[in-house]
Amino acid sequence: MKKIIIAIDGYSACGKSTTAKAVAKHLGYAYIDTGAMYRAVTLHFLRNFVTLTNHAEVERALAEVHISFIRSEKTNENETYLNGLNVEEEIRKMYVSDQVSEVSALPEVRHAMVAQQQRMGRKKGLVMDGRDIGTRVFPEAELKIFMTSDMDVRAHRRQQELLAKGQLISLEEVKDNLCHRDHIDTTRKESPLTQAEDAILLDNTSLSVEQQVDFVTACAQERLKALAQIG
């Protein structure tokens, strides 16, 4: 059966990764968390005190970054490895979240990550979520979804995620972080967050995870059926 690329873009804390993982599992596709890639780069930059305004320094640091995803036997999910070390938990902490949009906005960083992501998608059969997957990484993706949600709902969801990992962060701090990231993501010059013209809008403010997954999966099956009829 023909396979496609499913590009899921949207704002922070909209549940993109959760939905994308479930859709990939349902379809038997590979899943790539591009947000984790940018978080890993941010972690590397923070640990090595990289000056974001120093282009040469940024390029040297990027040359040292090697990101891979390895499936955990314990959780049966992909975990992020930076230069051979498991950083899955560390990259989800607030101090990384506070800086990831600034790092992601750098042209050098986006060019490096986009190149890696495009290599990953050569064989198709892939679900990838992020900010510019349908507009920059895979503008030819057969299915594009753009996710959004009410800010209060997003903040509550992210706070619960952090709490589950032992991070006690106030709702106000979480909301401030999301607003800050939204501003940078939507106004940066390099691949800003925007809905592709042919993307399907999914507002999941009042939807359960199961409903979101069902919606995207149904869209994928419709697209696969249409492609099969074309031949």
Task: Return the domain boundaries, the chain.
Answer: 5-225
| Distance in angstroms (rounded) separating the CA atoms of residues 17 and 34 | 9
Tell me, what's the pLDDT at 231?
67
- What is the arithmetic mean of pLDDT over 75-93? 93
Helices (H), 48-106: 55-63, 94-104
Strand order in the sheet with 5-10: 30-33, 126-130, 5-10, 143-148, 200-203
For 76: left if phi > 0, alpha if psi spans -120 to 50, otherwise beta; the answer is: left
pLDDT in the model for residue 109 = 97
Cα→Cα distances 159→25, 71, 96, 108, 163, Å: 26, 26, 15, 31, 6
User: When comparing pLDDT for 1 and 78, which is higher?
Assistant: 78
Distance CA 72, CA 69 (A): 9
pLDDT tier at 76, thresholds 50, 70, 90 = confident
Cα distance between residue 196 and residue 210, in whole Å: 24
CA–CA gap between residue 83 and residue 77 (Å, rounded): 19
What is the structure's pLDDT at 49? 98
pLDDT at 59: 97
Least confident of 62-76, 103-117, 125-139: 62-76
What pLDDT does 65 receive? 96
DSSP string, 136-159: II-TT-SEEEEEE--HHHHHHHHH
CATH class of 5-225: alpha beta
Question: What percent of the chain is modeled with pLDDT above 70?
Answer: 99
Mean pLDDT of 48-61: 97
Is the pLDDT reported for residue 1 higher than 80? Answer: no
Q: In what order do the strands lie in the sheet with 78-82?
A: 67-71, 78-82, 85-86
Give 197's pLDDT tier (boundaries 50, 70, 90).
very high
Q: Cα torsion for 117, 155, 195, 113, to the nearest 10°?
A: -20
Q: 129 with 8: CB under 8 angstroms?
A: yes
Helices 107-120 and 34-47 sit at what angle, rounded to 10 degrees? 140
pLDDT of residue 78: 85
Residues 6+ positions from 140 with CB-CB distance below 8 Å: 5
Residue whose C-alpha is closest to residue 200's, from 137, 154, 139, 143: 143
Lowest model confidence (mean pLDDT) among 73-82, 86-95, 151-160, 216-225: 73-82
- Average pLDDT of the chain, as a whole number: 94
Q: What are phi and psi of 79, to 5 degrees?
A: -120, 150
* pLDDT class of 73 with cuts at 50, 70, 90: confident
pLDDT for residue 218 is more than 90: yes
pLDDT above 90: percentage of residues in the chain: 90
Please indicate whether residue 73 or residue 210 has the higher confidence score (pLDDT): 210
